[in-house]
Amino acid sequence: MSAFPAFGPGAETHHLTTDDGVVMRVVIEGDGPDIVFIPGGDTPAEGYAQIFARLTDTFRCIAYDPRGAGVTTSPPPPWTMADYARDCAAVIDAFCGGRAAVCGLSLGGLVTQATAIDYPDKVRMAIPMGTAAYIDGFTRDWMQAEIDIRKAGVTLPNYFLAPHYAVYAFPASALADHNLWAEIKEAYTARFSGRDPKDTIDQWEACLEFDCREALRTCPVPFRVIGFSEDIQTPPPMCKLVADLAPDGVFHEIAGLGHVSMSRHKPGIVADKLREILTA
């Protein structure tokens, strides 16, 4: 089994070279208003494959491999969230005529916020999911621990990968489904067994350094923030703060879903919420 669901046969792959020397793999499918999807940490464009399958009848969906994931190459780290936002702006300019709705999960949610703040004229609407204006509390301690254990040279054995990471990604109801767990176990083992520890370190350190609380207060872009009621990584109050700080911010909480329920667990529910927001 692949680590990620595959895109449909209608998806087209492109490569974009930016002025900063980043060479990004970009996937495009569908026809309609443009939506740029930014993957979360450790995730290539395929993180949105199941969302594409449900939205490309109405929207032109674009996703790309961010720095530190997939086949995208970039100048050496450290990277900042401003670097990630500049990459997203380059995708919008190259494939969307300079303006698009932007949606991202986790690290991608932070990039969504940074892009809206740094390039407000390019973002029609910002839809960060499973996000934070600043990472603190348990989430900071957990992420820092994941960084530190890699810096210490510790490698998790394959048999521990899925049991370790899945509890941060899915709600208990999903993990209790034996058929779904079998799928998640195989996919998450394949996903993390080949992951370069340095890529995780570099991506996650950029997340921990990001703080957009003050900048959000004057950002003119409409923010429609999505949180998931069973999200351990970014609990709903953390997501709601983003909507509360933005002048035009609305918070949507989806019940019963975890941080990565949009892939393999309940992609249809997330896609339906996105469609509702985008067509309101």
Q: Assess if residue 7 is contained within a domain.
A: no
Q: Assess if residue 4 is contained within a domain.
A: no
Instruction: Give the per-residue SS3 of the chain.
Output: CCCCCCCCCCCEEEEEECCCCCEEEEEEECCCCEEEEECCCCCCHHHHHHHHHHHCCCCEEEEECCCCCCCCECCCCCCCHHHHHHHHHHHHHHHCCCCEEEEEECHHHHHHHHHHHHCHHHEEEEEEECCCCECCHHHHHHHHHHHHHHHCCCCCCHHHHHHHHHHHHCCHHHHCCHHHHHHHHHHHHHHHHCCCHHHHHHHHHHHHHCECHHHHCCCCCCEEEEEECCCCCCCHHHHHHHHHHCCCEEEEEECCCCCCCCCCCCHHHHHHHHHHHHCC
Q: Assess if residue 3 is contained within a domain.
A: no
Range of the domain at 210: 12-278
pLDDT above 90 as % of the chain: 98
Q: Assess if residue 165 is contained within a domain.
A: yes
The domain spanning residue 171 has which CATH number? 3.40.50.1820
Question: What's residue 1's pLDDT?
Answer: 64
Q: Assess if residue 68 is contained within a domain.
A: yes
d(CA 42, CA 199): 8
Q: Assess if residue 6 is contained within a domain.
A: no
Residues of the chain with pLDDT under 50: none
Question: What's residue 225's pLDDT?
Answer: 98
Q: What is the number of domains present in the chain?
A: 1
Q: pTM for the full model?
A: 0.97
Q: Assess if residue 84 is contained within a domain.
A: yes
Please answer whether residues 40 and 130 qualify as being in contact, where contact means their C-beta atoms are separated by less than 8 angstroms: yes
Q: Assess if residue 118 is contained within a domain.
A: yes
Instruction: Read off the pLDDT of residues 77-133 as tens digits, 9 standing for 90 and up.
Output: 999 999 999 999 999 999 999 999 999 999 999 999 999 999 999 999 999 999 999
